């Protein structure tokens, strides 16, 4: 079955850039949209952005100025870069498949901590 | 503050029924489907309900969803201790051009 796996550094310095990758396996990569969603420890979910296999993207207005999502169809991967990070960006970051208006498959999540 | 409002917590005894509401601050739900997600402690969210009231394969029929106007509701019958989790509603906000989630509801099975 389709599986998503996040990867990236667990620790990022303040004002630095958070970079995350999501690898998709076990199913088709094309024909879907792919999202990044985050969750600060003990808090709720916040959608960050989505991208299609062809590169069409959309962002949460509150993060649009700092976030960049990209896709590499040759590797069945998509990525997130979030710049100028602060402690408020410390969160579990999940990648998920956005299919027909719902996030139907999620990765296990990766914790990114912003600290010096 | 989310554009989708959920109660912070609900509780009920094993075997009982509980409902969790999800209210929109605008007409965003009028044209878009609502989905629900279950997040068990220490795990990633899982799709529970989609298109307002459909269940993915493997989700028991104890879980149900409905939508009316600018509100959606998740219902869980025959509560089990294993249902203790955080539940989130989500939908596409056409006004913001953004996917939005509710603030989440913590279910406690007493």
Query: Residue B25 has what pLDDT?
Result: 74
Subunit contact A50:B99, Cβ cutoff 8 A: yes
The pLDDT of residue B1 is above 90: no
The pLDDT of residue B96 is above 90: no
How far apart are alpha carbons B108 and B91 in whole angstroms? 25
Closest CA to B33 of B106, B77, B94: B94
Residue B70 gets the label, from left (phi > 0), alpha (psi -120 to 50) or beta, of alpha
State the pairing for strand pair B105-109/B9-12: parallel
Q: What percent of chain A has pLDDT over 90?
A: 97
How far apart are alpha carbons A82 and A69 in whole angstroms? 9
Closest CA to B90 of A109, A37, A66: A37
Return the SS3 of B84.
Answer: coil
Query: Residue B94 has what pLDDT?
Result: 85
How far apart are alpha carbons B100 and B93 in whole angstroms? 6
Query: Residue B31 has what pLDDT?
Result: 79
Query: Residue B69 has what pLDDT?
Result: 85
Residue A33 has a CB neighbour count (10 Å cut-off) of 22
- Per residue in B14-37, pLDDT tens? 999 999 999 987 667 667 899 999
Q: State both tokens at B107.
A: 């279910």
Which member of B44, B50, B97 has the closest CB to residue A102?
Answer: B50
- CB of A46 within 8 Å of any CB in chain B? yes
Query: Residue B27 has what pLDDT?
Result: 65
Query: Residue B3 has what pLDDT?
Result: 84
Residues of chain B with Cβ-Cβ distance to A108 below 8 Å are 43-44
Reported as type and span, the H/E element at residue B92 is strand B85-93
The pLDDT of residue B53 is above 80: yes
Show the low-confidence residues of chain A (pLDDT under 50).
none
Residue of B nearest to A44 (CA): B103
CA angle A32, A38, A41 (to 5 degrees): 150
Residue of B nearest to A45 (CA): B101
Q: State both tokens at A77.
A: 């991967």
């Amino acid at each position: 079955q389709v599986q998503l796996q996040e990867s990236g550094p667990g620790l990022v310095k303040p004002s630095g850039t958070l970079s995350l990758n999501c690898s998709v396996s076990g199913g088709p990569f094309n024909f879907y949209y792919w999202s990044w969603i985050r969750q600060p420890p003990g808090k709720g979910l916040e959608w960050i952005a989505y991208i299609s296999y062809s590169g069409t993207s959309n962002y949460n207005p509150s993060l649009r100025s700092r976030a960049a999502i990209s896709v590499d169809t040759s590797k069945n991967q998509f990525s997130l870069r979030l710049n100028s990070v602060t402690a408020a960006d410390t969160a579990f970051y999940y990648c998920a498949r956005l299919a027909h208006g719902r996030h139907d498959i999620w990765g296990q999540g990766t914790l990114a901590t912003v600290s010096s | 503050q989310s554009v989708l409002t959920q109660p912070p917590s609900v509780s009920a005894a094993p075997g009982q029924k509980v409902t969790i509401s999800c209210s929109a601050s605008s007409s965003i739900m009028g044209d878009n489907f609502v989905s629900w997600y279950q997040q068990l402690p220490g795990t990633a969210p899982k799709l529970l309900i989609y298109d307002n009231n459909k269940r993915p394969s493997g989700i028991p029929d104890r879980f149900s969803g409905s939508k009316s106007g600018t509100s959606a509701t998740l219902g869980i019958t025959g509560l089990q201790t294993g249902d203790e989790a955080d539940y989130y509603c989500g939908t596409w906000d056409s006004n913001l051009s953004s996917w939005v989630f509710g603030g989440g509801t913590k279910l406690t099975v007493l």
